[in-house]
Structure 1
C-alpha cells in the first residue's frame, strides 16, 4: 500500500491555519489536509484519544483486554461494527478522515500510513478510542507544572517496558509508557493532580530509575520520536500509555488493524473537566 502521509508540521500548499483552540476547527482542517502537525498543541482543555480499529470477531476480546488493563487502556468510546462515528465524543467526527495520519497493519506487518482510510473501511470494522495523556497536559500547565517538551515544540517520548499486561485471547504483551522530564517538585505535583484523571491514565506508574521498567536507554524511544534528553535537575516521569494496545494488536497478527499515526490523536469535543476540588492547592513554583 502506498503511503501518502505528510510529515508532522508540514501543511499542503495553500493550507489554512485552523483555530487551534477549537477541536471541531482542527478536525475540519485535518479533513481538508490543511493541518498535519502533532495534536498535543491543539485544542487544550479537550480530551484526545488513541485510535484502534479491529475486525468485529476480535472486538470483544480487545474490549476485555482494555478492561483488564485499564490503567494503560481506558476506553472512551467503541463504535458499532461498520460505523466510523462516535457521536458521544463529537457529533461530526469521522474516524476515516479526521485523524492526521493512520497506520495500517496486515497480519502484524505495517503496510501503509495513509492520510485517510475511506478506501479501507469495511462493514465489519469496530473502532475504539482510548484515553490519551495529551488530555491532561493543559491541566498540569494550569497548575504551574512545566512541560518542557511542549515548550520545545516536541511530544512526550514512549517506551516499551518489562511490565506484562493481562492477556485476553490473542492480545497481550508488555505495557508501553510515555515519559515527561520534570523537576522533582513538578513530578510530585503531576502525580497528585493526575491521580484524579484515571480516564487519561491517572497518576504516573513510575518516577526515576528507568531500568526498573526495563528501559536501558532513554534515547531509544518507541516510534523513534519525543523528547528524550534529561537535564541535571530533571527526573523521567512515566505514565501508562495506550500505545500498549497498538503493540498488542500488532503482536496478535490480526488480518487487519488500523491505528492513528504516532502523536496524531483523535480530537474530541469532550472537555477535560477541572477537578480542582480534589486537587492539591499549590503556591509558587518553589512551594
Structure 2
C-alpha cells in the first residue's frame, strides 16, 4: 500500500521526488494544492506551442512558462522542473523513447517549459462533495483516451483532444459538472457525460494512457479535457526532442486550488 501523502506539503513532496522516494502517480497528494502537466521543448517551437495552447484553452490552460534556468517561480518557488516530477517521458522525432525520473541532462539555455493546468486540481472539490473519484479510491492512475475532437492547430502542433474519465452515477455527474465548471483554468466542466462513442472512445476499459477503473452498477463515464493532449500533438509534430510528464505523474504546485483561478485571472490582467 502506498503511503498517504494527502497532508504533505508540496515542498516536502519535491524533496521526496528528488530523492527517488516517489516515482508514481500524484493523484491525491498534497490536498488543497493545484497540480500541473508539463511540456519542455526547444525555444524555436515555444511560440507555436503557446499559440496551440491559446487555441485549445480547455485541454491546455497555461499556468507558467519557465525559461533560462529550470527553476519554477510562480507555481512553486524553490522547485526545479527537471527533478521534481515523479516520472518524465522523452520523445525523439515524435516517438516516445524513454521514461526517466530526472531530466537535468537535457535542459539547455534553449529549453522552454510549460506548466499546464491539471484535472487533479478539481478532484479535491469532488471528494469534498462526497463524490467517489475512482482512480484515487482504487490507488491507480486516471484513465485517459484520445478522442475524435480535433484541436485547433498552430504551426507544427495539431492532434486530437485527450480526455480523462471518471465513472459516476448520473446524479453525481451533474453535481461534478456544476463543481468543475467553476475551475476554468484546470480544464473546467466535462466535455461529455455518458456517451463515450460520441467523442470516439470505443471501449472505456481500454484507455490510451493510464489504467482502467471499475464501473459500479448504474454508473456512466464522465470525460474532462486533459493536459495529456499536448503529448498527442507532440507525436504528430515530430520535433527532435521534447520532454513531458508521464501521464498521471504531475508537478505539484504550491498554489492552492482555491486561489489558483483568481491568481491566474489577475496574472492575465497584468
TM normalised by structure 1 equals 0.87
Q: Which sections of structure 1, spanning at least 5 residues, go unmatched?
A: 1-8, 11-15, 276-287
Taking structure 1 as reference, are residues 69 and 18 closer, same or farther at Cα in structure 2, changes over 3 Å only? closer
Q: Which residue number corresponds to residue 55 of structure 1?
A: 42
Please list every run of at least 4 consecutive aligned residues from structure 1 whose deviation after the TM superposition is greater than 3 angstroms.
Answer: 16-20
Preserved contact between residue 192 and residue 224 of structure 2 (Cα < 8 Å): yes
Q: Which residue number corresponds to residue 263 of structure 2?
A: none
Q: Which residue number corresponds to residue 175 of structure 2?
A: 189
Q: CA deviation at 1:37?
A: 2.5
What is the correspondence of 1:79-228 to structure 2 with a 5 Å cutoff?
79-80=66-67, 82-223=68-209, 225-228=210-213
Q: Larger radius of gyration, structure 1 or 2? A: 1
Match of 1:113, SS?
Answer: strand
Preserved contact between residue 135 and residue 213 of structure 2 (Cα < 8 Å): no
Preserved contact between residue 165 and residue 172 of structure 1 (Cα < 8 Å): yes
| Aligned residues between the structures | 260
1:71 to 58, 64, 76: 58
Q: CA deviation at 1:19?
A: 7.5
Q: CA RMSD in A?
A: 1.8
Q: Which residue number corresponds to residue 4 of structure 1?
A: none
Q: CA deviation at 1:111?
A: 2.0
User: Could you give the per-residue CA deviations for residues 127-185 of structure 1, whole angstroms, max 9, x where no partner exists?
Assistant: 00000000110111111212122111123210000000000000011100000000111
Match of 1:87, SS?
Answer: coil
Q: CA deviation at 1:17?
A: 8.5
Preserved contact between residue 4 and residue 29 of structure 2 (Cα < 8 Å): no
Q: Which residue number corresponds to residue 250 of structure 1?
A: 235
TM normalised by structure 2 equals 0.92
